[in-house]
Structure 1
Amino acid sequence: MSTVPEADARRSYSYLGPAGTFTEAALAQVPEARGHHWNPVRNVGEALADVVEGRSDAAMIAIENSVDGGVSTAQDALATMPGLRIVGEYLVPVDFVLVGRPGARLEDVSVVAAHPVAYAQCLGWLGQTLPAHAHIPASSNVAAAMSLLDGTSDADAAIAPPGILEHHELELLAEHIGDNENAVTRFVLVARTTAPPSPTGADKTSLIVELPDDHPGALLEMLEQFATRGINLSLLASRPIGDALGRYRFVIDADGHVFDERMADALMGLRRFSPKVIFLGSYPRADHAIVRYPERYADDVFVEARDWLRGLVSGAPQE
């Protein structure tokens, strides 16, 4: 029987708070997080610092949005904070509601509080439904709604995630107000550096790679490390390194697992080519889509090629 006290067995997970955010909805998809301590924080850097410094076992952060692209603050933090590893990814549909103070009515709304990104994603609906409205920017979607309740906002309504209604007494004025019904945000669960889980066949590998210098064809040389091994890239984003103009690092999601022979071979190629390669992890894809690749890039083909080369070096007779 275990002698570890129950309280000591509780794990802690940091996420962008407060309660009711899309990040909280992503964390709710993690089975092993249920029943444990969830720690709301103010920004991505704080969430990842909790992990690095041991205050949390893992952090849930947004990494990419299907409408707005990569989340630069998260990508830059992962590039500059050592000791982190992505252990899972989760998808959350981006759905917005319009809320007001208790008793509010949609026809009385003239001023709307919203985070600028959320506001931009609902602008079509707002223009059609509330053509004369004014916008007050907010620091977050939840903050926009909370400002109605604490009296700090002159707005009549706020754009917020649906989860806000589970935590606060707000009037629901309208649902599904986003202009893109297929919008989705991708989140990743980040822990301290650990060995990758076994491959599932539906995996993704995340990397950050710097080019060795600025010369014609440098980016092509980096991409060839994947193309010549039959590896598809589902994300390729550039971020400035910050030490000089024209210096960039590349955030990469590659289909496959580091235990796959083709992926391992590509990583070795990148290591020879790049001054800095950050391996962020290999983990199951959120969509569970099986990774397809040409048969000439199967594991046994790489193994046979290595065995063939060993035979050449050893002087073994050629068949």
Structure 2
Amino acid sequence: MPASPVTYTFLGPKGTFTEAALMQVPGAADAVRIPSSNVNTALDKVRDGSADAAMVPIENSVEGGVTATLDAIASGQELRIIREALVPISFVLVARPGVRISDIRRVSTHGHAWAQCRLWVEANMPDAEYVPGSSTAAAAMGLLDEEGVHYEAAICAPIVASEQPGLNVLAENIGDNPGAVTRFVLVSRPGVLPDRTGADKTTVVVPLPEDRPGALMEILDQFASRGVNLSRIESRPTGQYLGHYFFSIDADGHAADARMADALAGLHRISPATRFLGSYGRADAQSPEVAPYNSDEAFQAAHAWVREILAGAVAAPEHAHGGSPTA
């Protein structure tokens, strides 16, 4: 009996940057691909089994973490990040035929796209009002709806405009930062971790155990004392009450690395509600610099030394038996 095809979901509709990220996954072109209207819906499809994995945005080089993803993955049934993808971001301004820039009063797009084009909009359409969209592609496709559309233009990816004859490109490369990149993660249900590559990343969510001086320092010290570099740390409210936060953290290394495993154990000791979100290969394949005393071999040698002490195999110095240390 042939195996069922892999099913992926992504932040849709077709033509989003998220779909471009998904297409970097080997085999995605031949898989079943289902668009989702928002991040929560995409992750819920993974949780209920209607999708094997979801590609969602998690970080942008201009705006930082994507809060919808950080919050959705930090609660509910546990999920695992198994892969990441980087997509260079560029934007175009589109409208229906006959609309000029001077005619535009309202513009729709995703919140992160709007933030990345804010300076261009202020310089070229200072009176334009922002209309939030669930995605850049959804905003552009909304212009093709003859009834009910309440904006004159949209900001989207160039590929959306090129595939829709009913959209005219009024301006290209309107992003304020030409080097902008968005990071996406492929999320599945918990299972076997991806193998170590030597250039890996681990993501965790750590609730602040209690709001007191030094509480955050204790969390950070679990990584610092073991030579684990943090590539991202962001605080997010838990929603329980004012002043209660969790920290979303990306750290360089794999859970199978001795230094990372030791750091994760330390986190769990001081914050038992810590949520492990996965260890996976870095998209940029950059390996961390690891000091010799933080290598796997160093940790193994240290643990072996302690075991020998507990077994009484390490010879005690002579003065411990009453002899002179200088005899």
TM-score by length of 1: 0.92
Larger radius of gyration: 2
CA contact (8 A) 1:15 1:39 kept: yes
Q: Any stretches of 5+ residues in structure 1 without a counterpart?
A: none
Task: Report the alpha carbon displacement of residue 109 of structure 1 after superposing the two structures with TM.
Answer: 4.0
Residue of 26, 30, 51 corresponding to 1:31: 26
Residue of 178, 183, 187 corresponding to 1:181: 178
Give the structure 2 partner of residue 57 of structure 1: 52
Residue of 20, 23, 37 corresponding to 2:15: 20
How many corresponding residue pairs? Answer: 312
**Superimposed CA distance per residue, residues 15-42 of structure 1 (whole angstroms, 9 cap, x where no aligned partner):** 1111111111111111132211110111
Give the structure 2 partner of residue 89 of structure 1: 84
**Superimposed CA distance per residue, residues 126-175 of structure 1 (whole angstroms, 9 cap, x where no aligned partner):** 333445x5235142322322232112335443211122125422222221
Counterparts of 2:113 and 2:133, CA distance in 1 = 11
Q: Higher mean Cα deviation, 214-223 or 145-154?
A: 145-154
Residue of 155, 158, 163 corresponding to 1:159: 155
Give the structure 2 partner of residue 190 of structure 1: 187
**Superimposed CA distance per residue, residues 257-301 of structure 1 (whole angstroms, 9 cap, x where no aligned partner):** 011000011111111111311110000001111111212111100
Q: Percent same amino acid among aligned pairs?
A: 49
Counterparts of 2:132 and 2:239, CA distance in 1 = 28
Task: Report the alpha carbon displacement of residue 56 of structure 1 after superposing the two structures with TM.
Answer: 0.3
Q: Any stretches of 5+ residues in structure 2 without a counterpart?
A: 317-327
Residue of 69, 80, 84 corresponding to 2:64: 69
User: Residue 149 of structure 1 aligns to a residue in which SS?
Assistant: coil
Counterparts of 1:182 and 1:309, CA distance in 2 = 50
Q: Higher mean Cα deviation, 104-113 or 118-127?
A: 104-113
CA pair 62-107 structure 1, distance change in 2 beyond 3 A = closer
CA contact (8 A) 2:16 2:157 kept: yes
Give the structure 2 partner of residue 234 of structure 1: 231
Give the structure 2 partner of residue 201 of structure 1: 198
CA contact (8 A) 1:234 1:253 kept: yes
CA contact (8 A) 2:121 2:128 kept: no
TM-score by length of 2: 0.90
Task: Report the alpha carbon displacement of residue 112 of structure 1 after superposing the two structures with TM.
Answer: 4.5
Give the structure 2 partner of residue 111 of structure 1: 105
Q: Higher mean Cα deviation, 92-101 or 276-285?
A: 92-101
CA contact (8 A) 2:207 2:247 kept: yes
Q: Does 1:11 align with 2:10?
A: no
User: Residue 88 of structure 1 aligns to a residue in which SS?
Assistant: strand
CA contact (8 A) 1:20 1:162 kept: no
**Superimposed CA distance per residue, residues 196-234 of structure 1 (whole angstroms, 9 cap, x where no aligned partner):** 121111100000111221221011011110000000001
